A and B are shown apart, each in its own frame.
Chain A
Amino acid sequence: MSLYKLLNIYTCKEALARLDDYLDRELSPEETKKVAQHLKICHACTDRFKFEAELIQGLRAKVQRIDLPPDLMENVSQALQNAGED
């Protein structure tokens, strides 16, 4: 029996299978705890989780920089006013 099983901790394979859900906080509390326990003792998986977390954060920062067309809100506001007067 592996050490992980003995200690009731996820193996690398089990932890990595839950990487996306862990980073997105979509795991149950029990699963979250087991992944966290694995990361405490596994440098390789921690490295990979850290990379993915930074990547998501960095990509979000970049895609959220799009500029709003200057007259869009005004056009919407006018359209809403016209709709309200109908």
Chain B
Amino acid sequence: MEFWEKDGMNETSARQKEFEALLRPIMKTVYSAALHYTRNPEDASDLVQEATLQAFRAFDSFQRGTNFRAWLLRILTNLFLNKYRKQQREPDTANIEDLPESYLYHQAHRAGLHQGGDPAEIVLEKLDTEKVTAAIDALPEEFRIVATLYFVEEFSYQDIAEIVDCPVGTVRSRLHRSRKLLQKALWEQAMG
């Protein structure tokens, strides 16, 4: 007798219970990722609902004990790229290479923030959740996706590479460039 038979549960509801037990603790970060991808709360909710349904239908293919969050985020990311992305004019990124490394660090020092205390703390105090979100959401799509997986989900380069299905070197390069653009956007948000 299976455990779900002993408890009077049927197999379907046991499967749903198992899936939801994995889903509930990470629901907030899954929604956060969807929100950064779509930049719209209604689309984000739709994306989450559709992705979780797709994941549930494919749950038999999920290897128990492996990283459920990465597995679900891969489904969510693919769904976003195949169905939810909208053709929007992307910001010009031609000048990324001209941006110096550690842009914020240099700007903060140029503005004399290091004289007033901890410059990182001073910059962060000028940035609330809305401003940081706006800066991430202003990134071109391919950078916004890796930045979301890095900042919001705190995935490793390897995990990000598996989620977006590209080499680790590409992830490293995109993340490096997205951080440059992000730092410029954050400085503008902080000083704006």
Contact = CB atoms under 8 A, between A and B. Distances in A.
Interface of A: 16, 19-21, 24, 26, 48, 50-52, 54-56, 58-60, 62-66, 68-69, 72-73, 75-77, 79-81, 83-85
Contacts, number: 112
A75 B20 CA distance: 12
A85 to B, nearest CB: 7
B165 interface: no
Interface string B5-41: 0000000110110011001100111011001100001
Interface of B: 12-13, 15-16, 19-20, 23-24, 27-29, 31-32, 35-36, 41, 45, 48-49, 52-53, 56-57, 101-102, 104-105, 108, 118-121, 123-124, 127-129, 132-133, 136, 151-152, 154, 156-157, 172, 175-176, 179, 186
Given A50-B120, A54-B124, A63-B136, A77 B53 contact: no
A80 B16 contact: yes
A83 B57 contact: yes
A65 B19 CA distance: 25
Contacts of B36: 63
Nearest to B120: A54
Given A20-B176, A51-B120, A60-B154, 11 more contacts: A20-B172, A50-B120, A55-B123, A58-B124, A63-B133, A64-B32, A72-B27, A72-B31, A81-B16, A83-B57, A85-B12
